[in-house]
Structure 1
Amino acid sequence: MNKTFILKEFFVAQGLELLCICESWLPMGDSSALLELLPVACSCFNVPRSSGRDGGLVVYKSHFNCKQLILSNPPSSFEMCLSELGPPPLLLVALIYRPPKFDVDFLKDFSDLLSVNMLKYDHVLILGDFNIHVCCPDKPLAKVILHLLGSLNLSQWVLGPTHAQGHTLDLVLSIGLSVAGVEILSPVFSDHSPILCDFNLPCVSAVASSHVRFCRVLNAAKVIELGELLCAEGSELHTMSLNAEELTLQFDSICKNILDRIAPLRIRKPRPRPEPWLSDDVRACRRAERKWKKDRLQVSREIFRESLFSYQQTLKEARVKFFADIVEKNSHDPRSLCSVVNSLLEFSDSSSLPPTGETCNDFLHFFVDTVRATRAAITNSPSDSLLPE
């Protein structure tokens, strides 16, 4: 993938919470590209092709309970990335890429996918590049697929061209889920248009942000005012016939009421820390984008497009130089070098299995069986009397 920083900037600038990408071209195990792409507080899972350069990629905010689903017998006529967004009632999200070449099994595979999952989920979102000209309903394949969607009560929300040649190839389908604010952006960094839309999850648990802090603003004048008000309002405490605990609670209440009047609580959110390798010259594409959006000229679009790829290359080079300087500076500090290497290579894969009692027991049995097999393979091995049964 040669558009990692472009897509990262797009995710942040558009305020996205979920990004689905077809034809990601990310091979298995390429964690460096994923680390370049992931914004702060985001996770992803990649479903690469077993061979070739296509595949699907889903990027989402880490606070979502997102689980990748692996099919034991995936369809052969199209690529698919399945995931669940929870908590219950779960939303099934299917990212689909259908190759342009006609495959006689596509309609059957797609019908089977819909019929099986419609029974399991009340809320389904299907999106992706179908390579079917639904803008031409008289074409045979478009007619059949539109009839299939209608028979299953699936809503199709994209109304307009999504490809540089003016056809509607990318679809957003749903059942049991209302989609709003569908916006088709101009195809700039691809020949397909990005599609933006809003939808509410069936059930979203409130996520308490550990980064939000509350504070009070106190200066010298407010401290003096606090003392005066405490003297005035707390003077009656000694006349109350209360025990020590009740007096403490009363004094605490008086202090809080006074502070709420003179210095109310304010929410302080930390400013996002800019990446240290960014500089003003790599942001030139933002100016080109504003100019293109203002005049909508083809020449401005080409300038914006060139500046995007220049931004990607410049940022990549700046990032390489930034980490190269750190490595050179800490060449005699193994701990710092290991920390830098880990930050560049370690990637947390959200598709790992959750820790359950069943998986722990499976691992225990696997470990014991492995030890037993290893001992049996070693000649003159010690007694197995200490091996747990």
Structure 2
Amino acid sequence: MIQKTSCCPICSSNDVEVVCELKNYPLTELFVPSCGNARDRTQHPLIESDQTLKYCSDCSHAFLENVISPDYLYSKDNYNTVTTNSSGSLISIKNFARFINQQNHEVSYTIDIGGNDSNLLRLINCEVGCVIDPNASSNDKRYSAINNFFEAINPEKFNGAPVNIVSSHTLEHIQSPHTFFNFLSSIKTIEHVFLQFPCLELMHESSRYDLIHHQHLHYYTLNSIQTLAKQYGFIINAYEYDHDHYGTLRVHIAKEKVLLKQSIHEKLSSKLDINDLINDYKLFNKSCSNNSSMLTKLPSLYCYGASLMLPIIYYYYPSLSSLSKGIYDMDESKSSVRYANVQTPILHDDGKVDFNNMSICITAVATKSAHRKILTNLAKRQPIYIFNPFGAL
């Protein structure tokens, strides 16, 4: 179920170093019925696994050493990110659509690789296209849903009319980025490619190493995505950083012959230093350890936000397992489930719960704008204390 990656998956360099080791690191997005046996592993036999983040100084790319089988990670029981159900995903998709529309590309047949619904295609005013993903769906007759991994599809079926590619927060999940770019290169009529993914630059800038998780195998930089694209005849036409959701990098790449303006590929960011990354993670981990003592002093502690990434917060703040009396969330359906690797019950917040005599630890923190909204709303309800587990907000 687990494979190891030893050399850099972008440039094949063996000169890679360890940034951090994460022992018994929890898997995320695993839920079971709240009434079930807490020790039953039938549905989720793997709930944690050792993990290591490595960094290649040659092309400035970070990646996970241990790769858990995608058949397990993305089975319908284990993967719960649906764009229309996630406020963070919705913000990310809207920002991505704005970036795509700003490039003034001609609208043509568009393939969304890794989308689980047709929301992005609709937002970029695509007249016809498809969504490729094992969990793909479409409620718009203009867009077909191909329920499979892109690796199982013959790209030649799309040769003919001009084709654009969009892919949102997918490239970081793919074990071999070269497989993805081989697929793109096999479409002879491809014109424009728009990608967005979490980036190492912003993770480092904000010291948010809690954003590392098993599904995200890669942590790209502007330099590493350019290194990869150039191997297949693509160059970067435009890019932008977005702090809202996971610390995102967006790029518009294309073959040089179809570029709409001069490429900016010479204006690459400076490379990150491995020692800076190592020391920054150590400071992050030390900060969590120091803040953990504060939690023990907070009276009547509850968490707020039954987010998909919550088990990672419990990893860095293990005392939450014994201190937190419950996890409040506005989504009533979540109160009928619990996390497979966190025993704290999920409680429904109907907006009328009195927080005046509670302390609250915010546990939905991956999307900055959503995090700020939760903080603002909680402040109005005047809990005794509000605890923010990670750094800059």
Normalising TM by the smaller chain, what interval? under 0.3
Length-normalised TM-score, structure 2: 0.27
- Max Rg structure: 1
Structure with greater strand share of residues: 2
Length-normalised TM-score, structure 1: 0.27
| Higher normalized contact order (CA 8 Å, seq sep 6+, divided by chain length) | 2
Structure with greater helix share of residues: 1
